[in-house]
Chains A and B, each alone.
Chain A
Amino acid sequence: GAVVSQHPSWVICKSGTSVKIECRSLDFQATTMFWYRQFPKQSLMLMATSNEGSKATYEQGVEKDKFLINHASLTLSTLTVTSAHPEDSSFYICSARASYSHSNQPQHFGDGTRLSIL
């Protein structure tokens, strides 16, 4: 079945550091990938939609200069949390949908990246 891989799975770093998270679709091409953030005991909140070859679309309230998204190929999207601070600590999850599938077909999720900023 479709597999989405995220790397790293866990990051601990100092405040002020920039952190890059990768999201790969392993056995399918994904024109569109999505980035979510999940705080403890809360639901997933969509941060942005990553579009291959074009700019990402950010949800209201999400700073595009803070969360840089690059979708340079059909199988890879990256999220960079720039100058991370403790309040950025969260569980970041990506999802992808195969390019050939209808827009209402389910997305496949990665296993998430737990980011802890000290």
Chain B
Amino acid sequence: GQQLNQSPQSMFIQEGEDVSMNCTSSSIFNTWLWYKQDPGEGPVLLIALYKAGELTSNGRLTAQFGITRKDSFLNISASIPSDVGIYFCVGLSKNTGTASKLTFGTGTRLQVTL
């Protein structure tokens, strides 16, 4: 099946630093999404990307949809303690009917030190 590999798997950074993480796939996706999951909670959508090459920002977060449609990256600028959590990239592919399946990446665990 399809797999999305995220890098890095985990990272420790100091408050105020910028963060970069990426996601690569062996398959093409029509849509890329980035979610954040806090411990014991469900994922929350951060950014959605719909076109190859698209660069989208949401506050301190910036994400890009790779030109090949097989990768995406997420940047977080000036990290703060509440950025702690697990970040998942998600690829969306067309399925039969109207329901599109989500394929989750392996996740990047972010921990911020003061």
Does residue B92 face the partner (Cβ distance < 8 Å to A)? Answer: yes
Describe A's contact surface by its main secondary structure.
Answer: strand
35-49 of chain A: CB within 8 A of chain B? 36, 42-46, 49
74-115 of chain A: CB within 8 A of chain B? 91, 93, 95, 97, 103-112, 114
Does residue B59 face the partner (Cβ distance < 8 Å to A)? Answer: no
**Complex contact A45–B104 (CB within 8 A):** yes
Total B residues in contact with A, Cβ cutoff 8 Å: 27
Report A30 CB to chain B, min CB distance, Å.
10
Output the residue of A32, A43, A60, A109 with the most chain B CB within 10 A: A43
**Complex contact A31–B98 (CB within 8 A):** yes
**Complex contact A46–B106 (CB within 8 A):** no
Does residue A67 face the partner (Cβ distance < 8 Å to B)? Answer: no
B residues apposed to A, CB below 8 Å: 1, 30-31, 33, 35, 40-45, 48, 50, 88, 92, 94-95, 98-107
A residues apposed to B, CB below 8 Å: 4, 6, 31-32, 34, 36, 42-46, 49, 51, 60, 91, 93, 95, 97, 103-112, 114
